[in-house]
Amino acid sequence: MTRLVCVSNRISLPRRSSAPGGLAVGVLSALKRTGGLWFGWGGETIDQEPGDPDLHIREGVTYATIDLRQRDFELYYNGYANEVLWPLFHYFLKGMRYNAEQSDAYERVNRSFAEKLLPLLQPNDLIWVHDYHLIPLGRVLRQLGVQRPLGFFLHIPFPNIEMLRVLPAYAEMLRDLTHYDVIGFQTQNDLAAFHSGIEHLLGRDAIRADGRIRVGERTVRAEVFPIGVDVNAVQTEATEAMTSDVVRRMYDSLMGRQLMIGVDRLDYSKGLVERFSAYQHFLETYPQNVGRVTYIQIAPLSRTDVRAYVEIRQSLEQAAGRTNGRFADTDWTPIRYLNRNFPHHVLMGMLRSSHVGIVTPLRDGMNLVAKEFVAAQNPEDPGVLILSNLAGAARELSTALLVNPYDTYAVGHAIQTAMSMPLAERRERHAAMLQVIKRNDIASWTRRFVEALERTEAVSPKVRALGA
């Protein structure tokens, strides 16, 4: 029997009020199904050299957490990961702040992850590395002699070569990716962008007719594995939470008004400033809605040490204040803007209570909230999803009201369309989306990726080692 080992920058130990984040939601659902080991940073920073991992076992999953030195955390996590790779991969060059010291810390932390993981590995492990924080990890593990199958999944978009070339070490990054046996992307667009990088680095012939990539004597599988949600679990959570105290109080406070909801980590890629201004256009253009619609935006804070996140927070407070100042009445607030974290089941209950779910990122790898909104609805009387065509999820959820998030007038119009959509059309659009997310749920995402990794076991360790 093989064991699944997931590695990600940050681990969240299972708690009901776990921190938001799509990666953690995806990895945890995957591991709960298969059991195995989850290795990563536990969230603590210290001043001395970190020791061995701490181990905790919960519900068949072993959690191995390590600490990070404060300085490395600043340079590697806040710095290279979130001030260089995150903006670059989301096509926000304006938010990018590069320096070579961060790049050294990225390599150093990846090496330290590999060295601390090594003693925990067993001969039958399948190793699945997650996201942009850990791209070099596969190469370092191979250098340390690991011969087991190695997979990598990128949760965020992959940029086209012309954008990627902005990164000084872009060629090394592409080469690092080829040390994995399986590389997974969210959408066909991301895969095509990766191919543009491989063509640039290794030449057109490196991409074989079956899509595999030839790297010396080895072949690497690069494929699309769109992440999904646990549809049954979301449906149960949402239905049960409808009777919870928090959701009932929220619902009662609407006093019969229609509800539009947004749930996003507070991040500039999520398009919240543009969304607030779209909502303002909606109130201006369709004044019959003034006093009749409430918009609740839940936006738990994230990456609070990074400058761009401080700036976006200020802009949003101003934007919400402007709209509320202009339209609010003694008994009605147009936008309720909450920088709070809620337990997941409460959020699912709120999604189910909403007439409209608004998900308008300026760019997003997938966006699980869009899929959760669909799963949480009552199929007999479903709410309407407004979805950015720049989110990976738009490829699958094609019967949502698709919008360009920059076109704030068009988004305002979509809100009006959603608020007045007849029941038959709502049901039809929702049924089509539900079918898609059921077919491609979190279990099938995990199964497909693990099967792809298992298939690479046939490759002889000698050939694999050639990549090291």
The interface mask with ligand GDG, positions 210-229, x = CB under 6 A, is -----------------x--
* 385 sits near ligand GDG (criterion: CB under 6 A): no
Which residue reads 């001969």 in tokens? 123
* 265 sits near ligand GDG (criterion: CB under 6 A): yes
Check: CB of residue 181 under 8 Å from CB of residue 150: yes
Token pair in block for residue 212: 């595999």
* 369 sits near ligand GDG (criterion: CB under 6 A): yes
Of positions 64, 127, 306, 368, contacts ligand GDG by CB under 6 A: 368
User: Helix or strand or coil: residue 264?
Assistant: coil
* 25 sits near ligand GDG (criterion: CB under 6 A): yes
Q: For this structure, is 155 an active site residue? A: yes
Of positions 72, 83, 190, 372, contacts ligand GDG by CB under 6 A: 372
Minimum CB–partner distance for residue 115 and ligand GDG (Å): 27
Strands (DSSP E) found in 32-88: 36-46, 54-58, 61-69
User: Which is nearer to ligand GDG, 254 or 301 (by Cβ)?
Assistant: 301
* 11 sits near ligand GDG (criterion: CB under 6 A): no
Site for ligand GDG (CB under 6 A): how many residues?
A: 26
Closest of 170, 121, 175 to residue 147, by C-alpha: 121
Question: How far is it between the farthest Cα atoms of the chain?
Answer: 73
Residue 262: in which H helix or E strand, if any?
strand 258-263
User: Which is nearer to ligand GDG, 106 or 268 (by Cβ)?
Assistant: 268
Q: In terms of DSSP bridges, do strands 356-359 and 150-153 run parallel, antiparallel, or are they unpaired? A: unpaired
Residue 295: in which H helix or E strand, if any?
strand 293-298
H-assigned helices in 118-264? 137-143, 161-164, 170-177, 188-202, 231-241, 245-253
Strands (DSSP E) found in 59-139: 61-69, 125-130
Which residue reads 């949402």 in tokens? 238
Of positions 8, 20, 230, 442, contacts ligand GDG by CB under 6 A: 20
* 357 sits near ligand GDG (criterion: CB under 6 A): no
Of positions 63, 158, 342, 449, contacts ligand GDG by CB under 6 A: 342
Sign of CA dihedral 44, 49, 55, 61: positive
User: Helix or strand or coil: residue 168?
Assistant: coil
* 337 sits near ligand GDG (criterion: CB under 6 A): no
Minimum CB–partner distance for residue 209 and ligand GDG (Å): 29
* 300 sits near ligand GDG (criterion: CB under 6 A): yes
Which residue reads 């779910």 in tokens? 357
Minimum CB–partner distance for residue 273 and ligand GDG (Å): 17
Q: Candidates 134-142, 202-210, 368-376, 396-404 — which segment interacts with ligand GDG by CB under 6 A?
A: 368-376
- Residue type at position 217: E
Q: For this structure, is 413 an active site residue? A: no
User: Which is nearer to ligand GDG, 76 or 342 (by Cβ)?
Assistant: 342
* 430 sits near ligand GDG (criterion: CB under 6 A): no
- Identified catalytic residue from 131, 181, 364, 441: 364
Helix 423-439 to helix 231-241 angle (10° resolution) is 130
Minimum CB–partner distance for residue 26 and ligand GDG (Å): 5
- Identified catalytic residue from 90, 155, 413, 430: 155
Listing DSSP states for 187-205 in one string gives SHHHHHHHHHHHHHHH-GG
Check: CB of residue 349 under 8 Å from CB of residue 247: yes
In the complex, which residue's CB is closest to ligand GDG? Answer: 22
Q: Where on the chain is the footprint of ligand GDG (CB under 6 A)?
A: 18, 20-23, 25-26, 155-156, 227, 263, 265, 298, 300, 341-344, 347, 364-369, 372
The residues that are catalytic are 155, 364
